[in-house]
Amino acid sequence: MIRDVFMIMPAYNAGATIERVFDRIPPTAKNRITRYVVVDDGSTDDTQAALARVRKRYPALVVLQHDRNRGYGAAEKTLLDYALEGGAEVAILLHADGQYSPEKIPDVLQPFDRGDADMVQGSRMLKSGALPGGMPLYKFLANKALTGVANQALGLSMAEYFSGYMAYHRSALSAIPYHRLADTFQFDMQMLVMARVKGLRVVEIPIPTIYADEVSHLRPIRYGLEVLSILRDYRRGRYHRL
């Protein structure tokens, strides 16, 4: 069984949601998590005040601070550096807006406990819950289309590439030069591409789709074009040269 599980979380202007995410962490997950690590990526709201309240209930919470908003991928790099330096065997990435279910953390850990995975992605597309869960139709169709293109380009058969519910074994983090990847929302997909390049085992598990009143900082059209750019660069060998 995996020990030294870190839950890591980028937070940008998440003061209205981050406490609710911690409230949803189940006891079975708390029993496994040795450290909670949040990077405040230059928030201008009351994220710090919310985290101070969380720390009263979670003494193992560590809060890191970016002096300005550096981007989602940059926040992840800070978190992954901390996880590696802190001795984490597995780092589970959760978002501070509540769209990815903390209740699924025990399920995320199972492939690692079995020794079956180097990376785990929680996928909203493995079961038929994406649309009932509130995923807008245009996002659902775009996800399906881009996933088909990505599978063809990468020679894989994943259900999706665009979930931010990611978990990494330290062996994967040691193998991937993640500091050479993007500081943007493309970081997670680039990690999956690098897993393909390095021959790492990626396991997908089903997660519920949750859309509520969260504020998204992702621009769909730009994101889609960047996905195609990643696949073009993969075909040209860029990621093999990192």
Quote the pTM value: 0.94
Map out the domains of the chain with their CATH numbers: 5-241 (3.90.550.10)
pLDDT surpassing 60 at residue 213 = no
Alpha helices in the chain (DSSP H): 18-23, 27-30, 47-57, 72-85, 105-114, 137-154, 170-175, 187-198, 220-235
The per-residue pLDDT for range 88-110, each reduced to its tens digit, is 999 999 999 998 999 999 999 99
Say what the pLDDT of residue 132 is. Answer: 77
The per-residue pLDDT for range 36-76, each reduced to its tens digit, is 999 999 999 999 999 999 999 999 999 999 999 999 999 99
pLDDT surpassing 70 at residue 176 = yes
Say what the pLDDT of residue 127 is. Answer: 80
Nearest to 50 by CA among 86, 87, 12: 12
Mean pLDDT across the chain: 94
SS3 217: coil
The residues that bridge with 11 in the sheet, in sequence order, are 40
pLDDT surpassing 60 at residue 233 = yes
- In DSSP notation, 15-70 reads TTTHHHHHHT--HHHHTTEEEEEEEEES--SSHHHHHHHHHHH-TTEEEEEESS--
Contact criterion met (CB below 8 Å) for 90 and 118: no
Nearest to 164 by CA among 108, 110, 115, 117: 108
Say what the pLDDT of residue 218 is. Answer: 59
